[in-house]
Amino acid sequence: MKSLRLQLRFLLPLAILLVAAAYITVPLVDKLTLRWFLRDLDIRAAFVADTLRNNLVNQPGELTVDSLQAEFNRAIRDERLLGIGLCDRAGKLLLHTPGFPDRVDCMGIHRPDRRNGNGLSWSQGELHFAAIPFEAGPFVEDRLIVLHDLSFVYRRSEDSRQYMIIFFVGLGLAIALVTVLVAHVSWRGWVAGTRALLRGESLLKPFQPPPELQVVASDLRAMLREMDEERRTRMANEAWSAERLRNLLQTELRGEQVIVVSNREPYIHGRKGEAIEVQRPASGLVTAIEPVMRACSGTWIAHGSGGADRETVDRNDHVMVPPGQPSYTLRRIWLSEEEEQGYYYGFANEGMWPLCHLAHVRPVFRQSDWEYYKAINQRFADAVVAEARTDDPVVLVQDYHFALLPAMLREKLPNATIITFWHIPWPNPESFGVCPWHEEILRGMLGSSILGFHTRFHCRNFLESVDRFLEARIRLEESTVTFDGALTQVKSYPISIHWPVGEEAEQRPPIDACRQALRDRLGLDAKQLVAVGIDRFDYTKGIIERFHAVDRLITKYPELRGQFTFAQFAAPTRSALDEYQLFVEQATKLADRINRRHGTPRWQPIQLIAENQDAEQVTSHFRGADVCVVTSLHDGMNLVAKEFVAAREDLRGVLVLSEFTGAARELDAALIVNPYDVERTADAIYHGLTMSAAEQAERMRSLRSIVSEDNIYRWAANMLLDAARMRRNERISARLSGEGR
């Protein structure tokens, strides 16, 4: 549409120019051709006169009026020669052929209209007269009047006028067609190039617009660079809070609707006797997304897994949360037992979970689980469409439960900005390739506008998997994939936690009280050193490895006997799965064995508490511990480590952290360990327990400055700002191509 308007702007003056050219040229050419024809007739008339004279001279006998008349009559058999007359010197018409106009002014032949060599000629209507001096026999100083039919000249002139007009119209149409084609091709090229530029594709292979548009392109580039630069500076300098995130949504995203999709719901309504009680699940995902949703006031779509969930929703399956201070909508999706078994326990947790974690547990892939996984992804995608108030909401898809959902959603809401965040690691292509549906999973994920992982390493693994299994264009420098004509930005966004400040931080129980509470909870006296582990009871968390490390610790440093306890709080999780039941059994047996080996009737080195702890309890345990042990065998981020740091404003406490967590890439002031290396892990725990207060403070200060700055609001803001930039660029390119939104 836009290119058409531009073309019209060019074509209109062209049309005017052509009409003007035709207006001037056609009469000119007309006049010229008429003049050529008249000159032709003059020559012809002279030739007739010459022929006549020769014929008469060569005739035997005397030249008489009759013989002259006969010769004239013979000559006019030529179809264009209408007549011949003879005027004498006195101006009298002496003789003429039949049909010759008898009122030819023989005197007028001296009035020169047009000279033609030695004679005169003139035209009257469709007749052409040529007066040629004639002398033969008795006829002296006479003039022969040769009369030609001029109508054919007018006819030809009319024809040539028409040809000229047809020529100009044809020329105009040809120029217009070529112009439209050239303009269209260069416009499309320009729009495509500008779109690429706006998407940020230009960095690898600079977009080369036609020379006349290069100024615009470089201005556009500079403008975008400036905006991004400004944004980065602003992001880097200011602290992120819920309030600031709310403002960002209003300014950068113009208050667009934000929809979150996750399997786990943030509030579970359950029954305790007659009463309904609300539970918070042990989930890093929920811990991270909940504060963002409070700030965005959007809609969170999740599986309603609680026993009293159905009783607490309205007829649209909505319930406002958090209870007591409602700030966003929770939309619950219902699953049958078979569906939950196939989609959640089966494909997600027996297939994808071990596939993505290098924890040496074989993934299990069943066709029936895959069918459920597809069906439930579609159900959640349909729910997003139903909840969307516009055709372009911002949708935050969470985790490995919904690998297929982005493409399903893209099909129904092509203008939506889909940000998928993968909370767990992404394996290398060899490991990923064992999944029988690896192609479908990649295709599904590439429905996202932005695909986020915790670390660059996982982004690279993903890009390599795409490269291995799909026909897609990958730009490594820009970390983008173009597949099926759509672009996905693959980027790392290290997730974090809500950082408590002000009143919220001050309201937490004092450190001394927490130390005492933890020791009371464990039945220890006040002087006992305590290290804690707080995790879901999951085989990826390295719980068995840390028990081995405690075993080695007590063996290697016997002075700790009776003085140190390791408390493992393990929240039961996915207990319906054999692998998890087996793991709980193994961990429990191992703890018993170690306790039997080192323990006394009054003391046990390991206390394994297989219970879920609520948020307050978790904070309290962290505040009361001397050391926090995180020994995941493989972990996307691990928010436990960050929660521990957030809990210690007293600058005490030591974090022992597995190098195989995403958190280790940021929290390098922790004591970083390889959990498979039992000896070093034991040493690290010992180092933590015996570390000077000054070293603890130095390390903790560094850790706290990282986590407080890179908090959950910055994580969300980074993604939402990228989404806003993408939406802005899409709007500009839509306007450029005339599809303006």
Binding residues (CB under 6 A) for ligand F6P: these are 263-264, 283-285, 399, 423-424, 573-574, 636
Rounded to a whole number of angstroms, the CA Rg of the chain reads 48
Shortest approach of ligand F6P to residue 712 CB, angstroms? Answer: 13
Query: To 5 degrees, how large is the angle CA 638–CA 696–CA 497?
Result: 30
Which of 162, 159, 126, 110 lies closest to 38, judged by CA? 126
Burial label for 558, CB within 10 Å (0-12, 13-18, 19+), is: exposed
Shortest approach of ligand F6P to residue 401 CB, angstroms? Answer: 8
Comparison of 346 and 636: residue with beta carbon closer to ligand F6P: 636
Which of 514, 481, 395, 450 lies closest to 722, judged by CA? 450
Shortest approach of ligand F6P to residue 633 CB, angstroms? Answer: 13
Shortest approach of ligand F6P to residue 369 CB, angstroms? Answer: 15
Residue 176 to residue 8: CA distance in whole angstroms: 10
Residue 85 to residue 124: CA distance in whole angstroms: 16
Which of 565, 551, 562, 560 lies closest to 520, judged by CA? 565
Contact predicate 533/628, CB 8 Å: yes
Shortest approach of ligand F6P to residue 308 CB, angstroms? Answer: 19
Comparison of 132 and 397: residue with beta carbon closer to ligand F6P: 397
Shortest approach of ligand F6P to residue 540 CB, angstroms? Answer: 8
Comparison of 587 and 685: residue with beta carbon closer to ligand F6P: 587
Query: To 5 degrees, how large is the angle CA 282–CA 283–CA 284?
Result: 130
Comparison of 387 and 399: residue with beta carbon closer to ligand F6P: 399
Shortest approach of ligand F6P to residue 516 CB, angstroms? Answer: 30
Shortest approach of ligand F6P to residue 263 CB, angstroms? Answer: 6
235 vs 295, 369, 664, 719, 727, CA distance in Å?
18, 43, 23, 12, 19
Report CA torsion sign: 263, 442, 385, 453.
positive
Comparison of 244 and 665: residue with beta carbon closer to ligand F6P: 665
Shortest approach of ligand F6P to residue 504 CB, angstroms? Answer: 22
Shortest approach of ligand F6P to residue 636 CB, angstroms? Answer: 6
Comparison of 134 and 569: residue with beta carbon closer to ligand F6P: 569
Find the helix packing angle between 151-199 and 712-736, rounded to 10°: 180
Alpha-helical runs (H) found in 58-112 = 65-75
**What are the counts of helices (DSSP H) followed by strands (DSSP E) for the chain?**
22, 24
Comparison of 144 and 633: residue with beta carbon closer to ligand F6P: 633
Comparison of 7 and 263: residue with beta carbon closer to ligand F6P: 263
Which of 288, 145, 186 lies closest to 636, judged by CA? 288
| DSSP-derived pairing of the beta strands 564-571 and 606-609 | parallel
Comparison of 220 and 293: residue with beta carbon closer to ligand F6P: 293
Shortest approach of ligand F6P to residue 356 CB, angstroms? Answer: 9
Q: Which residue is nearest to ligand F6P (CB)?
A: 285
Residue 642 to residue 499: CA distance in whole angstroms: 9
Residue 564 to residue 528: CA distance in whole angstroms: 6
Comparison of 571 and 627: residue with beta carbon closer to ligand F6P: 571
Shortest approach of ligand F6P to residue 424 CB, angstroms? Answer: 5
Query: To 5 degrees, how large is the angle CA 667–CA 693–CA 631?
Result: 35
CA 385 to chain CA centroid, nearest Å: 20
- E-strand ranges in 424-471 read 450-453
Burial label for 299, CB within 10 Å (0-12, 13-18, 19+), is: buried
Shortest approach of ligand F6P to residue 639 CB, angstroms? Answer: 8
Comparison of 424 and 672: residue with beta carbon closer to ligand F6P: 424
Comparison of 285 and 678: residue with beta carbon closer to ligand F6P: 285
452 vs 304, 404, 421, 442, 512, CA distance in Å?
26, 15, 5, 14, 40
Helix/strand/coil for 143: strand
Phi-psi sector, 484: left (phi>0), alpha (psi -120 to 50), beta: left
Comparison of 200 and 542: residue with beta carbon closer to ligand F6P: 542
Contact predicate 413/388, CB 8 Å: yes
